[in-house]
A and B are shown apart, each in its own frame.
Chain A
């Protein structure tokens, strides 16, 4: 069977087997016994991967005043596997927590992982930190990690700035940058500019001994990475004006939006009632957030961008512009008014008849604008009133109505401009100017946000163009703003047509019958328009839009005070005080200022 005796070859094979085994054993001897670079753990040492959290970017106002900065805080971390028996009573006392709370937290950490660090107690202030850190060596397995908390030197603009909170599972799934316990912008600027503000995390690898004491960096920090600080943001917001406006809105429900017409930068974005942004920082965030959520006045709602109101009389100017633009009327066109007897819309004012555009605007004559609207829809320029309606609808969009600006304000609502399709469906195709007549005086289906109202003031002040309203002025270290913020948007209506509308707004302050003539600002010419908006749910809303100075506007503003009655009683004085504050730095009308700050339309003053 076997020609030669080959059984000697088994020794060669056994030799190969043994040689390999021997080589392995020698290599392992070096690896495990001789070589100390791998022996960090021979006394149960481990490398600790410490996340280096970058400082979140600061937020400044347009004059460089700090709106948000960081304050040091410390998280207490635990690695359950390293926890040895210790005096839990002493520990609980040290941290000022209950024993049951302690047990719950520790078992939660264990459940996450016995071997990985998890946050045991978050956001310990730097005062407590010093005290606790001194005694922490009694408690192996626990250690501190530095974090920062947001701090707001002035308790203003809570909704604009937004808040920062722990990431949820969805954030983690969407962006691998985040791990459990990280912070993320939850709303406002903090949310929108999260990627700029957060910077980039670094990683430091340190060796620790069995008592959890740091024994220096691993391999001289060769694998460490430095955190990159977040970028600082400069907002167009004026902190002083914002604070002043919030004070004026004290006790009222509503909002103020002020915009710089030459840039679209938002100078103030006020919603009332509001809250102190410091309430939503740190360990108290959850509790306070819940309380704010349950508050019947709904302070968490940002009415400046999500309050939707009928624009009322302020809208008549837009209707006039849409009509002038296609020659449906001109500035000399006259219509008659039968006062309370007018059909289909009556007039609530007493004035001469017939009257022309400027007089109609001064008197806010409803029949005049009904006729204007009807002329627009039946203009010979269009095939039929529905095509004309499409033109009107387009024009509203060009004025920023019925669409969101979609810049850097999260959760902005679009308001509502009803479409042709909407009416076709509602009236089964059969409708005409008369059917939709309430649009002519800014009532009916039309809804606008205070931000859109303020932008209307911008457009009229600029005589036909605007920049999308936005909060950001610049990012420190970044060259350019997004193009959408610097792009001039034309409404397509000739600036000549704006002249007469602008003129009418001047008369509101200057004219003998001007609705805001009592609030004329000393030495500043301004344009304004009151609105008293019918509200099916209660008292009328008081509304006012304005811009100033008249010739070269530096501020355009919209004020809405809910359920406060006439536009001239609350919204107009507040708007003029804001303008005065912004342009002059102080008010010459201290009595008015005091009355606005201390009284509320809904409660009788004592």
Chain B
């Protein structure tokens, strides 16, 4: 009965979506780095040949995970978490520097990036911690512990100068929200981001002026008693302080290349041959695809190597150029379908651990999806993180596959939990 359920109870819909995205990625990588002299898609000297190997290994890992007892991951969440944290510390000391980030372990010809696995470990640890009986996120102790679980890898990855990967961990806010933390945090975060952009765009004095006007209007609209006025004055003060801190944060905390990326995004800086080059070329590539695209292997922008990182972070350009609006919409809908399915699966879990873990991986996938595609079409600053299952790269594909299959295993096992 149980043995039978192992296969039959697997969620075939999400597994199919996973496989489709991964194979799509493989074909896109083939197209992005196509080399006429190595035209076989199985050519191991090329990235497309290697990606096939990563895919095979991912499926093997998946099969192994499905064979492991489902309770293993909850039980070993903490050791796994600690092991990965140790790797993050290790990479700071012994790692190799690739493209400005000291975040790789060089083993023979392969490079492994522990940060990719930290997302999995953090999701696991968070689920395990919050999944215990009587955890209450309205208690500060619980909140702080949860923040610490998320914060530790974030700081370690920041220390590797891999800002992109570190930012991914902010998405666990969604998980905390689902588990009962006040939604105000998200709203405040949203407002802060909005103010940040406004300040950069218009300058701090205009924004402060705007806040003052808003304050005046609100005064007219609410009941003017002492308590209300005090609250609003406090909000105004915090708002003004935040606006003042934006300039400082922007100039002092961000690296010059990060400042430039944000400026380019906001249209404050136009440097199409310099910092704005990637995004501009990426937009030309996607835009030139038109409604139906140029056809498989017919992309000229990507072939001309106009778009840098076209097989990794900018793989979406190839989709846009060769398959057009139809292709990009299809890929986005595939992701939306997968993400929604993961949420639905998470909600039907009987154990809190499985549910929280499910939300964890859905959130991480969502963040990658939103930032990566947003970056290629110029909605988000350039943050170098891969498009899950599609971008070239062994570490990220394995990490996402492990995350995915662990959840699939939890889901398949849900009926065995009382």
Contact = CB atoms under 8 A, between A and B. Distances in A.
Contacts of A20: 366, 369-370, 374
A10 B300 contact: no
Interface stretch (A24-32, A258-266, A549-557): A24-32
Contacts of A138: none
B194 interface: no
A31 B283 contact: yes
A570 to B, nearest CB: 61
Nearest to A114: B36
Interface string A26-44: 0111011101011111101
Contacts of B369: 20
Contacts of B227: none
Nearest to A6: B180
Nearest to B37: A111
Nearest to B320: A32
Nearest to A43: B290
Nearest to A23: B379
Contacts of B343: 10, 13-14, 17
Given A17-B366, A38-B286, A116-B304, A32 B332 contact: no
Interface in B154-180: 174, 177-180
A17 B339 contact: yes
Contacts of B283: 31, 38
Contacts of A13: 174, 177-178, 343, 359, 362
Interface stretch (B99-107, B203-211, B242-250, B321-329): B321-329
B336 interface: yes
Contacts of A111: 36-37
B45 to A, nearest CB: 16
B332 A1 contact: no
B237 interface: no
A435 interface: no
A14 B340 CA distance: 7
A21 interface: yes
B332 A24 contact: yes
Contact of A28 (B183, B288, B303, B329): B329
Contact of B332 (A14, A25, A39): A25
A383 interface: no
Nearest to A17: B339
A39 B301 CA distance: 12
B288 A115 contact: no
Interface string B122-139: 000000000001001000
Nearest to B365: A17
Contacts of B374: 20, 24
A41 B302 CA distance: 12
B377 A9 contact: no
Given A6-B179, A42-B288, A115 B303 contact: yes
Contacts of B393: none
B113 to A, nearest CB: 25
Contact of A1 (B289, B290, B324, B352): B352
Nearest to B335: A21
Given A37-B287, A38-B283, A115-B303, A24 B373 contact: yes
Interface in B362-378: 362, 366, 369-370, 373-374, 377
A484 to B, nearest CB: 39
A136 B96 CA distance: 53
A395 to B, nearest CB: 59
Interface residues of B, number: 51
Given A24-B374, A115-B304, A41 B288 contact: yes
Interface in A56-98: 81
A7 B177 contact: no
A3 to B, nearest CB: 7
Secondary structure type dominating chain A contacts:
helix
A17 B298 CA distance: 32
A46 interface: yes
A4 interface: yes
Contact of B336 (A2, A21, A41, A42): A21
B333 interface: yes
Contacts of A46: 300, 304
Contacts of B19: none
A38 B324 CA distance: 12
B289 A32 contact: yes
A33 B272 contact: no
A288 B286 CA distance: 50
A2 B132 CA distance: 11
Contacts of B133: 1
Interface centre among B179, B321, B370 (most CB of A within 10 A): B370
A177 interface: no
A12 interface: yes
Contacts of A9: 177-178, 183
Contacts of A12: 177, 183
Contacts of B340: 14, 17-18
B287 A35 contact: yes
Contacts of A32: 286-287, 289-291, 320, 324-325, 328
Interface centre among B136, B272, B287, B370 (most CB of A within 10 A): B287
A21 B178 contact: no
Contacts of B288: 38-42, 45
B347 interface: yes
A23 B329 CA distance: 11
A32 B286 CA distance: 7
Interface string A108-144: 0011001110000000000000000000000000000
A23 B373 CA distance: 11
B294 interface: yes
A172 to B, nearest CB: 17
B336 to A, nearest CB: 4
15 contacts: A2-B352, A3-B180, A9-B177, A10-B347, A21-B336, A23-B379, A24-B373, A24-B374, A27-B377, A32-B286, A32-B287, A42-B290, A44-B294, A46-B300, A116-B304
Given A1-B352, A20-B370, A32-B324, 5 more contacts: A9-B177, A25-B328, A27-B377, A32-B287, A81-B300
Interface of A: 1-4, 6-7, 9-10, 12-14, 16-18, 20-21, 23-25, 27-29, 31-33, 35, 37-42, 44-46, 81, 110-111, 114-116, 223
5 residue pairs, one from A and one from B, having the closest CB atoms: A38-B287, A41-B288, A42-B290, A32-B325, A115-B303
